[in-house]
Amino acid sequence: MKRTLSPVILTLCAVILPGGILFAQEPKAAAESAQPRPKAVVVEAVKDAGGVAKGEKITHDFVIKNEGDAPLEITDVKPTCGCTVADFDHTIAPGGSGKIHTVLDTTDFGGPIAKTIYAYTNDPDNARIELTVKAEVQPYIFVLPGFARFIQPQGSDPGSVEEIIFTRSFDDLEITKTESPYPFMKVDTRPARDDERREQGIGNQWVVSFTVDYKQAPIGTIADFVTVYTNHPKQAIARIPVSGFVRPMIAVTPPEADFGKIDLSTPQEARMIVRSFDPAGIEVTSAETDVPGVQVEVTPIEVGKRFALHVTLTPAMAKGDFNGTITLRTTSAAKPVMEVPLRGTAI
């Protein structure tokens, strides 16, 4: 005899069965939540050091507690700027505490600052901890204009910048030593004359001059600090930023004529720009190359400053690789001859 379940029984099954599944899942979720876990708790996330003298190093230990029941791992600590993390505890036992030791050098800061350090942990609920060191950096030594910038072509006459150094609270300021960041930059000091003194300063005032020897300086960026050591009881060091660029006397853009693989069934031409940074201006008197079948010609764009260098590869060139030089002759005393690499493959 064929039996059929009543609609009531089917309805009860539909209601009870999901509930049975739910009850079966609850012990699993409870077991997962019962697994030992670390819990990172920061005792003090922000350290406010208050007013500090410029150049002072702020040292602080951030305390991290582990209020979980598994070991807390600090996997990495990264300062965003200005802070040096000297050391930190890598593992903190349950119920224990650890430290992140930080040092903030205020030499290059002034006024209110807030520097952040990020600590990374194995706590899934607090994987990245943000710590902050705050302070009001108070300068005791003043430097005007407070920076030096040098931009001249290599081979130019030496260039100098002067700074006035003074204080508002110390009569007997002395400069005990200076340090230049570059061998081609000379630093000199002397007492300020009456017409150079700043009214807001008291006692001894000084002139510090920076001189760049552009004949010795390499082409490239200038970016560093001149360090001035003093006898000031609250600020022993003043760092003065120096920046700029030593340009080539003559520059070619692009710096080489690289044609790569090129079909010379018809003549192929490339245009380059020759630029002079010589304040007196120059002339390009001739252009020639040692690669047969290549023609070079120079035409002025801006008198004494910019020229177009036309390089033409002709079908008369031998097939295969070529590697030679374009030679430019100029009226520049610092750069009378300039060589430009020429290379490629004629197919």
Q: Would you place residue 128 in the very low, low, confident or very high pLDDT band (cuts 50, 70, 90)? A: very high
Taking the C-alpha atoms of residue 128 and residue 167, their distance in angstroms, rounded to an integer, is 43
Name the pTM for this structure.
0.69
Give per-residue pLDDT as tens, 67-125: 999 999 999 999 988 788 889 999 999 999 999 999 999 988 989 999 999 999 999 99
Q: Would you place residue 280 in the very low, low, confident or very high pLDDT band (cuts 50, 70, 90)? A: confident
Count other Cβ atoms within 10 Å, centred on residue 336.
13
Q: Output the six-digit token pair for 203.
A: 């006692």
Q: Give the single-character DSSP code of 189.
A: E
In this predicted structure, the answer to whether residue 141 has a pLDDT above a threshold of 70 is yes
In this predicted structure, the answer to whether residue 15 has a pLDDT above a threshold of 50 is no
Q: How far lies 224's CA from each of 107, 237, 242, in Å?
A: 14, 15, 6
The distance from CA 2 to its chain's CA centroid, rounded to whole angstroms, is 85
CB-based burial, 139-172: b 16+ in 10 Å, e otherwise: bbbbbeeeebebebbbbbeebebbbbbbbeebee
Specify the CATH number of the domain 40-138.
2.60.40.10
Tell me the average pLDDT across 150-174: 95
Give the per-residue pLDDT at 108.
Answer: 86
Tell me the average pLDDT across 141-168: 95
Among 2.60.40.10, 1.10.1610.10, 3.20.20.70, 3.40.50.300, what is the CATH number of 141-247? 2.60.40.10
In this predicted structure, the answer to whether residue 251 has a pLDDT above a threshold of 60 is yes
Q: Domain segments of the chain: what residues? A: 40-138, 141-247, 250-346
Strands 250-253 and 257-262, sheet pairing: unpaired
Fold topology of 250-346: Immunoglobulin-like (2.60.40)
E strand or H helix at 54: none
The distance from CA 63 to its chain's CA centroid, rounded to whole angstroms, is 31
Give the per-residue pLDDT at 31.
Answer: 52
